[in-house]
Amino acid sequence: MIADFERIFTRYADVGIIAQSTLGPDARRASAAQMRAFTEAFRGYIARKYGKRFREFIGGRIEVKNVRTVKSWQEVVSTVYLKGRAPFEVRFLVSDRSGRDLFFDMVIEGVSLRLSERTEIGSMLDARRGNIDALIGDLKHAG
């Protein structure tokens, strides 16, 4: 399930933009090599963290309710139906900034994945006294 989720995340998400955003201002001081390594470690971290719950989607469906332009991106409003659970709203924020239409954030019942992960990654980086390489190493096993 984790590998399946990682393939879907890689195919439909703008992983580079999400990773850069979650690293926040510290992304500006990271070298190009560190950003590449962070993005790869982040991809695996997200796959392990959320892929564990991917099984919940078996037999479920997502219905798109509305799409609207917001600034330079699109907001896709959908309702998710999972077996044994009340329906809930998911908003996908989609941009072609990377040359393809990819989502750069998912807002699940009002909670932004990107901003939640920014807080989490920021705390992890603080615990490592700002050492990006240590964060990258730890992300390879976290999730």
- Residue found under tokens 């659970």: 85
**Closest C-alpha to 114, from 23, 27, 5, 4:** 23
pTM comes to 0.87
In this structure, what CATH number is given to the domain that contains residue 41? 3.10.450.710
Query: Residue 124: CB partners within 8 Å, gap ≥ 6?
Result: 135, 138, 139, 142
Mean pLDDT of the chain: 93
d(CA 102, CA 99): 9
Residue numbers of the domain that contains 19: 2-139
How many independent structural domains does the chain possess?
1
Tell me 134's DSSP state. Answer: H
Coil, strand or helix: which one is 71? Answer: coil
What is the chain's pLDDT, residue by residue, as a tens digit (143 residues)? 678 888 888 999 999 999 999 999 999 999 999 999 999 999 999 998 888 777 778 788 999 999 999 999 999 999 999 988 899 999 999 999 989 999 999 999 999 999 999 999 999 999 999 999 999 999 998 86
